[in-house]
Amino acid sequence: MLSDKTEKKIFGVTGALALMGGAAVMTYKTLNLLMKEAMDRDEPEAVSRMKDKLEGYVIDPELLATLMNAKADLESKVTETVEMESFDGTHLVAHWYPAENAKRTLICMHGWRSSWSSDFGIIAPFWHDCGCNLLLCEQRAQGGSDGEHMSFGMMECRDCAAWGHWLNVNKPSVLPLYLAGVSMGATTVLMASGLEELPENVHGILADCGFTSPDAIWKHVMQDNLKLLYSPQRPIIEALCKQRINMEADEWTAPRSLARCKVPVIFAHGTDDSFVPVEMTYENYKACASEKRLFVVPGADHGMSYLVDRKGYEENNLRFFRDYD
């Protein structure tokens, strides 16, 4: 028969283990919910309600109205929807907006949980008026494109390259191609920069507020925006990522691709970006092995550089096209 003292020790250890087990279950459930928000097509309602906290900023209502009007205007002008099967058989959708007397074609990749018309509505008129055909893509697992999981650029970069080959077959011309992206779309085009399958007629890349890797942006959002520890939870996050797309969270990164890049790149970012820190663009810029340019806008938050310094943004884009067409 056990003594009272021994029984108390056993019960104490058992209770501690039960608490630890309960905490582990709660941690897993929380991380799984966050990874559903990050990667799954269907957004968990519980997490969508805290989107402002995830992204770290709130858009001014007047500015939001401007963006929504631009979105609606672009949707009213773009009438041709095109489709293709990507490298892994995923059915993808894009919107073709040709320009008269076009000088070049831009493949445009939008951001995380966004859309082609939301992210490019405000800048599309400028690009279109200066002679750019626009292929406005819907990223996998978003909008009308198939797929159940987003990969934060790691698979989308190959979709981007596939769209380039699709253009060369279905909209053949001697025009140069450019890859353009915002936020996760910027990371998509940067991750495409070093791919062997990138079409030979890609003349340059325009990347606005891109991050370096899924692992890096998840770490930033958890630690800086949600105030949660990341490193101790990384093995679980890694497992949840691999479960979804069979890739590790840093299996392909923008810096790794840019180290192999052979086409010119222009990097844009706002200094006050609270979702993707401007330091990530500095890291991408430093890694880039090709000709490169940097356009940093003081005071601009996430994806707002064009609105804060429209003149400077347009001048930099026009100079880039002029030098590399």
CA distance 39 to 247: 12
Q: What share of the chain is helix, strand, coil (3-state, %, to 5)?
A: 50, 15, 35
CB 255 within 8 A of CB 188: no
CA distance 59 to 218: 21
pLDDT in tens, the chain (325 residues): 445 544 444 444 333 333 334 445 557 888 999 999 999 999 888 776 777 777 777 788 888 899 999 999 999 999 999 999 999 999 999 999 999 999 999 999 999 999 999 999 999 999 999 999 999 999 999 999 999 999 999 999 999 999 999 999 999 878 999 999 999 999 999 999 999 999 999 999 999 999 999 999 999 999 999 999 999 999 999 999 999 999 999 999 999 999 999 999 999 999 999 999 999 999 999 999 999 999 999 999 999 999 999 999 999 999 999 999 9
Locate the domains of the chain by residue range: 62-213+252-324
- Listed residue (152, 199, 155) closest to 179, CA to CA: 199
Cα distances (angstroms) measured from residue 313 to each of 163, 206, 300, 307: 26, 11, 12, 9
Please, which residues have CB within 8 angstroms of residue 89's CB and are 6 or more apart in sequence? none
Write down the pLDDT at residue 16.
36
Q: For 62-213+252-324, which CATH class?
A: alpha beta
Q: How many residues does the chain have?
A: 325
